[in-house]
Amino acid sequence: MTTSTPDLSHVIPPQTLTKLVREWLAEDTPNFDPAGLCVGSQEVRAVLLCKTPGSVLAGCPFFGAVFAELGCSVEWLRCEGHKFGSDAVTKAAIVKGSARCVLLGERPALNCLARTSGIATRCGQFTDLARSAGWTGQLAGTRKTTPGFRLVEKYAMLVGGVSTHRHDLSGMVMLKDNHIWTSGSITQALKNARSVCGFSSKIEVECGSKEEAREAAAAGADIIMLDNFSPETLHSAALSLKQEFPSVLIEGSGGVTPQSLPLYFSPHVDILSLGCITQGCPTVDFSLKIEKKAVV
């Protein structure tokens, strides 16, 4: 029996998608569109080109929603999550609609697709590294996202095969150093958090030493984040904690780069979170070209 790949676009609420694209379009054209006079409402066909070989296509629902809002249609030639080959230029989609509307949607749609595809491409590279090393834990993003664009960037992580981690402060509780210093201790911070989050939310504690991690685990933390540990120290601390608290999840975070990532893989580390999934991530080069009409 075979199972099909789930359609990830179903995780995006339609009303949220509509709200986002309307904001993008309003930002880009808040008043008149003088250039629209030059092209008018003649029907055109435009080709979406990917010019970054080896990249992963992500963000199709957002791209499509921009043009749907403008009364245009999008026909995809490649599916979400497709990895482009080595060709310098590859056709990815066809956009049809009135010339002025196609051009109104061009830049917002391309900006989004370039960013989401860049994130998915980086995530795919990281997951390939993990599989090659035989590591079975989870790679995860962080809240180091672009303000107002988090849902889009988290979606790109899903396409790239990486866990989104928590989406916001209302999700899983994460007690960081500032929470602990203000509360007085790890144990007290955990007690305070548990009193309001109940059974439905996990609590993660950021720890800067093995001693802090032991206190957090003993006080009932579900996840221990070993923050800014060197690979060697991380491996040693994770092994020790798993031996004493086998049900606790261990997350490594801080200082992990694309180059150093393989050094952090360990059978005792369940999660590795990386801010570089979104911060400093290269974009994918896309362009949209209206096809010239044949001269008779």
Task: Please report the pLDDT score of residue 6 as a whole number.
Answer: 87
What would the two tokens of residue 156 be?
Answer: 């790109």
- Given a cut of 70, the residues of the chain with pLDDT beneath it are 1-4, 294-296
Catalytic residue among 96, 144, 176, 202: 144
Task: Please report the pLDDT score of residue 295 as a whole number.
Answer: 47
Q: For residues 238 and 249, what is the distance between their CA atoms, to the nearest angstrom?
A: 9
Q: For residues 65 and 56, what is the distance between their CA atoms, to the nearest angstrom?
A: 19
What would the two tokens of residue 63 be?
Answer: 């791209």
**111, 51 in Cβ contact below 8 A?**
no
Going by C-beta distance under 8 Å and a sequence separation of 6 or more, which residues neighbour residue 217?
A: 224, 241, 244, 245, 248
**139, 163 in Cβ contact below 8 A?**
yes
144 is catalytic: yes
